[in-house]
């Protein structure tokens, strides 16, 4: 069976380090642009993220997630840390139905299986729940900020966010969360 790029990096294959950058560079750049206050911040973040990805390659388990999801998870964690450290948020855009699914159809071939599942799951959610989920996950708003933006009680925001992520997590085949009240 062919080794993934991350498995090759973990095995010490130097060529895989730059191949990883070539394959996932646009993805990490897009995430950084979305979750950074400026292009300069995004450039710094991308460099931190790739170093983290290369170092984390031995932890990658292909049976748990695709490489794209693994790299996106690391990227988000790093970008959220940077936002927290700077105590500021990236500019946000109005909620829009078109945000579901990539804007460029040519991107579809590059989407991970998990992304397709998440896209279908998002379409199954109610409009209000989907809006809350996207404001939190995509726009990076805190629960309190979402409550203010939508006029919904904080408790409702948390519940809707949890249920939405649970649904996607279940569809992705991960473990069961604790029972709800």
Partner 1 sequence: MRDLRRRLDELLLARATGSAGAVELEELARLLAEHPDIDDDAYERAAAAICLATLDTAEPMPPSLRDKLQRKAAEFVASAMPARR
* Shortest Å distance, C-beta 148 to partner 1: 13
**Binding-site member from 54, 56, 149, 156 for partner 1 (CB under 8 A):** 54
* Shortest Å distance, C-beta 70 to partner 1: 8
Confirm if 147 and 96 have CB atoms less than 8 A apart: no
DSSP 41-95: HHHHHHHHHHHHHHHHGGG--TTT--HHHHHHHHHHHHHHHHHHHHT--------
Residue 144's Cβ-count burial label (10 Å; 0-12, 13-18, 19+) is: exposed
Query: Is 23 near partner 1 (CB under 8 A)?
Result: no
**Binding-site member from 4, 37, 95, 138 for partner 1 (CB under 8 A):** 138
Number of residues that bind partner 1 (CB under 8 A): 72
* Shortest Å distance, C-beta 6 to partner 1: 14
Residues between 76 and 105 that touch partner 1 (CB under 8 A): 76-77, 80, 83-84, 99-104
């Amino acid at each position: 069976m062919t080794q993934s790029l991350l498995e090759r990096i973990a095995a010490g294959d130097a060529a895989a380090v730059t191949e990883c950058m070539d394959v996932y560079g646009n993805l990490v750049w897009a995430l950084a642009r979305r979750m950074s206050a400026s292009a300069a911040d995004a450039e710094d973040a991308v460099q931190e993220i790739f170093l983290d990805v290369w170092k984390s390659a031995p932890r990658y388990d292909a049976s748990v997630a695709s490489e794209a999801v693994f790299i996106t998870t690391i990227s988000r964690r790093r970008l959220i840390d940077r936002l927290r450290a700077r105590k500021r948020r990236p500019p946000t855009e109005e909620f829009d139905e078109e945000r579901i699914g990539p804007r460029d159809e040519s991107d579809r071939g590059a989407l991970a299986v998990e992304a397709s599942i998440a896209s279908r799951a998002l379409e199954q959610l109610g409009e209000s729940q989907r809006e809350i989920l996207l404001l939190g996950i995509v726009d990076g708003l805190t629960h309190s900020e979402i409550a203010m933006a939508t006029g919904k009680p904080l408790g409702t925001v948390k519940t809707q966010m949890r249920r939405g992520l649970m649904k996607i997590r279940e569809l992705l085949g991960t473990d069961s969360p604790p029972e709800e009240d």
